[in-house]
Amino acid sequence: MVGWNPTELERLANAPEIEVSSLREDGALTKPAAIWTVRVGDELYVRSARGEAGGWIKAAEQRHEGRIEDDSNGVDVVFDDAPHHLDAEIDAAFRAKYGTLSGPLDSITADAAGANTIRLVPR
């Protein structure tokens, strides 16, 4: 797997939302879902505000491959389990980026969401 292109990483990290689609068994992509993404170091992380109940995360955990898109570009990615020693840093990144949106922010930083943090890896 390759690392992020610095320009691409910066653009996706600064996007208010991105869309995520999972790769199905037949090679088609699922319907995109709008999600929040944050950067910690040189990595991008996403969470389901609904924890395991989120439809997009269920699909992502089946094939571990998909696509993310912002307003200008798409990137094929691998959905990798995030290391949990970074949970506090990822929570802080979500709070720093989305701190004015208290309801959704409370959901995305809850234990249920943190347990399902995904690292996005370009492929």
Q: Check which CATH number belongs to the domain holding 51 and give it.
A: 2.30.110.10
Residue 49 domain-assigned?
yes
Which of 86, 106, 85, 81 minimizes the C-alpha distance to 95? Answer: 106
* Count of domains for the chain: 1
Residue 89 domain-assigned?
yes
Per-residue pLDDT of 51-102, as tens digits, reads: 777 788 888 888 899 999 998 789 999 999 998 899 999 999 999 999 876 6
First to last CA, the chain: 6
Q: Which domain holds residue 89?
A: 6-122
Average pLDDT for the chain: 89
Residue 1 domain-assigned?
no
Residue 104 has pLDDT above 90, yes or no: no
Residue 8 has pLDDT above 90, yes or no: yes
CA distance 123 to 120: 9
What pLDDT was estimated at residue 37? Answer: 95
Cα–Cα separations (whole angstroms), residue 84 to 49, 87, 111: 17, 5, 11
Question: Strands 118-122, 74-81: parallel, antiparallel or unpaired by DSSP?
Answer: antiparallel
